Amino acid sequence: MNPSSLTPAEEYLKQHLQDVRDLLQKQKLEETILQHQAMPHHDLVENLLHRSHQVALRHKLENLHSADIAYILEALPVEQRLVVWSLVAADMDGQILLEVSDAVRATLISAMDTSELLHAAEELETDEIADLAPDLPEEVLQELLERLNDQGRERLRSVLSHDENTVAALMDFGMVTIREDITLEVVLRYLRRQGDLPVHTDKLFVVDKNGILKGVLPLKRLLTQSPDRQVADIMARDLVAFHLDDDADEAARAFDRYELISAPVVDHEFRLRGRISVSAIVDHIRGQSDEERLNQAGLMEEEDIFSGIWKSLKNRWVWLAINLVTAFASTRVIGMFEDTIVKVVALASLMPIVAGIGGNTGNQTSMLIVRSLALGLITPGNTRRLVAKEMLIGLLNGSVWGAVLGVLAYGLYSDRGLALVMASATLLNLVVAAITGLAIPLVRHRMGMDPAVGTSVLLTAVTDGMGFFIFLGLASVFLH
Amino acid sequence: MNPSSLTPAEEYLKQHLQDVRDLLQKQKLEETILQHQAMPHHDLVENLLHRSHQVALRHKLENLHSADIAYILEALPVEQRLVVWSLVAADMDGQILLEVSDAVRATLISAMDTSELLHAAEELETDEIADLAPDLPEEVLQELLERLNDQGRERLRSVLSHDENTVAALMDFGMVTIREDITLEVVLRYLRRQGDLPVHTDKLFVVDKNGILKGVLPLKRLLTQSPDRQVADIMARDLVAFHLDDDADEAARAFDRYELISAPVVDHEFRLRGRISVSAIVDHIRGQSDEERLNQAGLMEEEDIFSGIWKSLKNRWVWLAINLVTAFASTRVIGMFEDTIVKVVALASLMPIVAGIGGNTGNQTSMLIVRSLALGLITPGNTRRLVAKEMLIGLLNGSVWGAVLGVLAYGLYSDRGLALVMASATLLNLVVAAITGLAIPLVRHRMGMDPAVGTSVLLTAVTDGMGFFIFLGLASVFLH
């Protein structure tokens, strides 16, 4: 047992990546030599040498876990990635396609023909095929559906027909089912005959002859109870199960709350239809928080660091355009007060501060609301109390920061009127920010929309526009 | 099996919350009546009635999972929360304290005396005590350490002495150890004698007489292999294990990559020291992404929605102050160009747009870099390529958006010079944004700091300041 096999530290992965890079380099060098030497009698030798590095690379890849190869593919630029991809053993293709990110998967699939894709998909379980399905060409998917047996086809259709945010989209079919009228001894013999169990099996599912779920038998109980007891006596009847169309986020919270490893998925007649495992839940959580972060930064989707320029530009333009429109709208307010600015030019350098601090406090409020909504903590019973609290904080914050900014403005321009306008505009804009920070997520939530997406953009547009309007408006009335 | 026990949907939790609220209301109403009626002969009856609701509440709480009670406590304002907390059965206190968020935990602990805290902590495992430790009063912690046996004390110390971002801080001690020279039959008999297994046990740990880890025996193999085989023949020797001081984030990625349920933790002599389970990993991932979101929104720590005003203000002021300082610094640039603004007042309403679009594109770039750094995808071998790509995107974006903004500015003010200044300032600021968006996370990463924290604040300060400087500077040179 050596330390490198003991700990899959990033160092160990990076070492493999470096090895692959070195081998690619050597191979490339040889190809160049090969092209520049035209002497025919060298061909054979060169070819052999070239091949020897390819063999070394192929050998290296054979000994890596599919997740580690996926990591290496992610970190390589497209042309090197495709060289490595062509050397990966065909029976690992399917697993690797599942492991890589969406953007990298697209580059790999585009380098494969129909028969390679079919071969890769046939190595996979039904639920894994479903995960790949959105990225597969239509004819490959059709061909796959035809090759499956009735049960497989029905299962694949049931996953594909549900929205990606439902439990059905996360489920797999690695469930071991037993009847309740047998002894544990019989169960143990049955498992030994099977010779293997699906990954993440921590419980067996007890069903009747119609496939209706009656309970679950945790492996823990199977292992610690006397073999001559009946399944019916030992199984848990009070269990956590999900419906096909339950919300995936709710399932994730339930897995967290009850510390589950796997849970049955049933239809409305309680017929067992599949299973969710904790690893599907972890993938879902990671995907969710990743998507949220991308949107917040103004990106449409995941971007491979080596994506083509054109793809990257398209990915970034939608949010940039939205931001530009809102920025233009809110700065048009400034245009209304150009006369005032010419008279008191100090307004020009103070106004972005009033707008900015409004955006910041509004974001703090809306973040807390979005988070509490996500945790299911906001109910009609406590909304009013919450609104009152945030409004009070807006007022207090506004008084303190308004005073600070007023003093700073006086220090800079020694103009008492300007200082008062600065202080009162800050106070008012922080109250506007508190109201907006509360209202946007709460209203979006009540309308059934995701309260997080785009909240920050909308909020900043309001706090900027109102900040400019309040500050310049007050100045135009009170300063001369 | 009724549907509500089948699916722990949010609806079901909210129903419980409503029930608790109703009971609290009834009890309160009676207390009020009790206070306003001074007739002594009524006392007994009223007291009984009042108690009957308390009993109903207590009964309701007894039948709920500790995680569900935690949810209810989170959703109640402080005074109602403490009423419910006083009615929770004492032997559930420890589990519930573990489940609630930090902010709510503080309110609950402050309502408990030393003996209640000691009682609550004694119901917990060593690793769970370690999780509570930071929130416990010093004397309670000392008392707990004294009450533990030698092994328990050593374990608690080993968790507490490691940084919270290490594997040691996530581990628990729920590991079942066996020797390699026995048969599976003996293992099965041993487990039946034990009568129970720790949660999340998917493998047994094989150690020698010195406690050195030799391999793991997955339950899967124990169940499917013939009982007369030896552990040594069946166990997995090629395993994923972690060192006490490994980075928790790396462990989380390894759990994801290799789809683990549990993994051994060893010291540098490969002595088994503990175990990590997937639920600790899920908690860690959730905690990480939550912390990141809080920081991005300018909040120091988690805030209970019913936290006191003063606590909320303190939580928000640090980031507000930082933002204010950077906003002040960047807008001081505007002050330098006040003469120019008085001459061409249109500059005042156009300058926030140049600054804003710079901030947005810079955030897109830095987000991709932070994410790629977190996934370990950026290596010295590909940094240059990445920088070249982002610079090119900055140039292309700058040309296109510069042209768009130039045309818009011309449309508004019919001034060709102003339009040209707008276009070239946008182009230049987007290149600045690309450089800054690349440089901040890469430099912070190289200096060993978290590339994500505060990147957005720093970046916006640079893109604002440079945006104002470039735009007004160009205007002062070229416009009259």
Task: Identify residue B200 by its one-letter amino acid code.
Answer: H
Asked if residue A423 has pLDDT above 80, the reply is yes
Note whether B431 and B350 are same-domain residues.
yes
Asked if residue A470 has pLDDT above 90, the reply is yes
Backbone phi and psi for residue A111, each to the nearest 5 degrees, phi listed first:
-95, 5
Q: To the nearest whole angstrom, how far is the Cα of B331 from the nearest Cα of chain A? A: 5
Two tokens at B152? 């328990």
Cβ–Cβ pairs < 8 A, chains A and B: 353
Confidence of residue B50 (pLDDT cuts 50, 70, 90): low
Two tokens at B453? 């924290």
Note whether A210 and A145 are same-domain residues.
no
pLDDT tens sequence across B377-415: 787 777 888 888 889 989 999 999 999 999 999 998 999
| Cα radius of gyration rounded to whole Å, chain A | 31
Last residue of a domain, one of A267, A296, A325: A296
Q: Cβ distance B391 to A29 under 8 Å?
A: no
Please indicate, yes or no, if residue A303 is contained in any of the structural domains: no
Q: Are residues B348 and A346, on separate chains, in Cβ contact within 8 Å?
A: no
Q: To the nearest whole angstrom, how far is the Cα of B161 from the nearest Cα of chain A? A: 22
**Mean pLDDT on B189-215:** 93
pLDDT tens sequence across A138-183: 888 888 888 888 888 888 888 888 888 899 989 999 899 999 999 9
CA atoms within 13 A on the CB side of A147: 14
pLDDT tens sequence across B132-169: 888 888 888 888 888 888 888 888 888 888 888 899 98
pLDDT tens sequence across A331-360: 888 988 988 888 888 999 899 999 989 988
Q: Report the run of H or E that residue B24 belongs to, with start and end.
A: helix B10-36
DSSP state of A183: B
Residue position matching structure tokens 């990606």: A164
Angstrom distance (rounded) from CA A229 to CA A233: 7
Question: What does pLDDT average to over chain A?
Answer: 85
Residue numbers of the domain that contains B446: 309-478
CA atoms within 13 A on the CB side of A311: 12
Residue position matching structure tokens 């050597």: A26
Note whether B21 and B144 are same-domain residues.
yes
Pairing of strands A272-277, A262-266: antiparallel
Two tokens at B38? 């001074």
Task: Record the pTM.
Answer: 0.76
Question: What does pLDDT average to over chain B?
Answer: 85
Backbone phi and psi for residue A312, each to the nearest 5 degrees, phi listed first:
-65, -40
Q: To the nearest whole angstrom, how far is the Cα of A324 from the nearest Cα of chain B? A: 7
List, in order, residues 6 or more apart from B86 with CB less than 8 Å away.
B111
Q: Are residues A367 and B309, on separate chains, in Cβ contact within 8 Å?
A: no
DSSP H stretches of helix in A337-379:
338-343, 346-374
**Amino acid B270: pLDDT:** 92
pLDDT tens sequence across A199-211: 899 999 999 999 9
Please indicate, yes or no, if residue B171 is contained in any of the structural domains: no
Angstrom distance (rounded) from CA B453 to CA A67: 29
Please indicate, yes or no, if residue B345 is contained in any of the structural domains: yes
**Amino acid B39: pLDDT:** 46
Please indicate, yes or no, if residue B302 is contained in any of the structural domains: no
Q: Report the run of H or E that residue B410 belongs to, with start and end.
A: helix B380-413
Asked if residue A458 has pLDDT above 60, the reply is yes
Asked if residue A296 has pLDDT above 60, the reply is yes
**Mean pLDDT on B331-336:** 88
Q: To the nearest whole angstrom, how far is the Cα of A330 from the nearest Cα of chain B? A: 9
- Percent of the residues in chain A that have a pLDDT greater than 70, as a whole number: 90
Cα A272 off chain centre by: 28
Please indicate, yes or no, if residue B397 is contained in any of the structural domains: yes
**Mean pLDDT on B237-264:** 88
Q: Cβ distance A430 to A390 under 8 Å?
A: no
CA atoms within 13 A on the CB side of A121: 29
CB-count exposure of residue A209 (10 Å: 0-12, 13-18, 19+): exposed
Note whether A11 and A121 are same-domain residues.
yes
Q: To the nearest whole angstrom, how far is the Cα of A190 from the nearest Cα of chain B? A: 9
| Helix, strand or coil, per DSSP, at residue A125 | coil
Q: Which of A201, A220, A389 sits opposite B220 (nearest CB)?
A: A201
Last residue of a domain, one of B261, B296, B331: B296
Please indicate, yes or no, if residue B275 is contained in any of the structural domains: yes
DSSP state of A328: H
Distances (CA, A) of B155 to B42, B141, B160, B169: 57, 14, 9, 11
- Measured in residues, chain B has a length of 480
**Mean pLDDT on A311-331:** 83
Q: Are residues A256 and B282, on separate chains, in Cβ contact within 8 Å?
A: yes
Q: Which of B188, B214, B320 sits opposite A223 (nearest CB)?
A: B188
Q: DSSP for B275-305, please give it.
A: EEEHHHHHHHHHHHHHHHHHHHTT-SS---T
Note whether B104 and B16 are same-domain residues.
yes
Q: Measured between beta carbons, which residues in chain A are less than 8 angstroms from residue B382?
A: 75-77, 305-306
Backbone phi and psi for residue B106, each to the nearest 5 degrees, phi listed first:
-60, -40
| Helix, strand or coil, per DSSP, at residue A196 | coil
Note whether A323 and A463 are same-domain residues.
yes
Confidence of residue A5 (pLDDT cuts 50, 70, 90): very low
Please indicate, yes or no, if residue A404 is contained in any of the structural domains: yes
Encode A128-158: b = buried (16+ Cβ within 10 Å), e = exposed.
bbbbbbebbeeebbebbeeebeeebeebbeb
Angstrom distance (rounded) from CA A369 to CA A402: 24
Angstrom distance (rounded) from CA A462 to CA A327: 10
Angstrom distance (rounded) from CA A236 to CA B402: 66
Q: Cβ distance B330 to A301 under 8 Å?
A: no
**Amino acid B47: pLDDT:** 56
**Amino acid A354: pLDDT:** 93
Angstrom distance (rounded) from CA A364 to CA B241: 40
| Helix, strand or coil, per DSSP, at residue A207 | strand
DSSP H stretches of helix in B213-267:
219-224, 231-234, 248-258
Q: Measured between beta carbons, which residues in chain B are less than 8 angstroms from residue A201?
A: 220
Note whether B23 and B134 are same-domain residues.
yes
| Helix, strand or coil, per DSSP, at residue A213 | strand
Q: Cβ distance A300 to B364 under 8 Å?
A: no
Q: Cβ distance B92 to B121 under 8 Å?
A: no
Domain CATH number, residue A289? 3.10.580.10
Last residue of a domain, one of A247, A267, A296: A296
Asked if residue A475 has pLDDT above 70, the reply is yes
**Amino acid A34: pLDDT:** 55
Confidence of residue A309 (pLDDT cuts 50, 70, 90): confident
Please indicate, yes or no, if residue A301 is contained in any of the structural domains: no
Note whether A199 and A346 are same-domain residues.
no
Residue position matching structure tokens 């920050």: A456
Note whether A367 and A321 are same-domain residues.
yes
Q: Which of A74, A243, A292 sits opposite B377 (nearest CB)?
A: A74
**Amino acid A177: pLDDT:** 95
Backbone phi and psi for residue A451, each to the nearest 5 degrees, phi listed first:
-70, -15
**Mean pLDDT on B331-340:** 88
Angstrom distance (rounded) from CA A103 to CA A101: 6
**Amino acid A460: pLDDT:** 87
Q: Are residues A396 and B14, on separate chains, in Cβ contact within 8 Å?
A: no
Model ipTM value = 0.74
End-to-end CA distance of chain B: 82
Helix, strand, coil content of chain B in percent (nearest 5): 70, 5, 20
Note whether A159 and A184 are same-domain residues.
no
**Amino acid B250: pLDDT:** 86
- Percent of the residues in chain B that have a pLDDT greater than 90, as a whole number: 34
Domain CATH number, residue B428? 1.10.357.20
**Amino acid A49: pLDDT:** 54
Evaluated on CA atoms A445, A449, A451, A457, the torsion sign reads negative
**Mean pLDDT on B348-368:** 90
**Amino acid A42: pLDDT:** 47
Note whether B471 and B349 are same-domain residues.
yes
Angstrom distance (rounded) from CA B166 to CA B185: 37
**Amino acid B310: pLDDT:** 79
Q: Which chain B residue's Cα is nearest to A311? A: B393
Q: Which of B77, B328, B382 sits opposite A385 (nearest CB)?
A: B77
Encode B258-295: b = buried (16+ Cβ within 10 Å), e = exposed.
ebbbbbbbbbeebebbbbbbbbbbbbbbeebbbebbbb
**Amino acid A51: pLDDT:** 67
Residue position matching structure tokens 């067992």: A272
**Mean pLDDT on B314-342:** 85
**Amino acid A308: pLDDT:** 74
Q: Which of B281, B364, B393 sits opposite A299 (nearest CB)?
A: B364
Two tokens at B246? 């490994």
Note whether A233 and A260 are same-domain residues.
yes
Asked if residue B19 has pLDDT above 90, the reply is no
Number of domains in chain A: 3
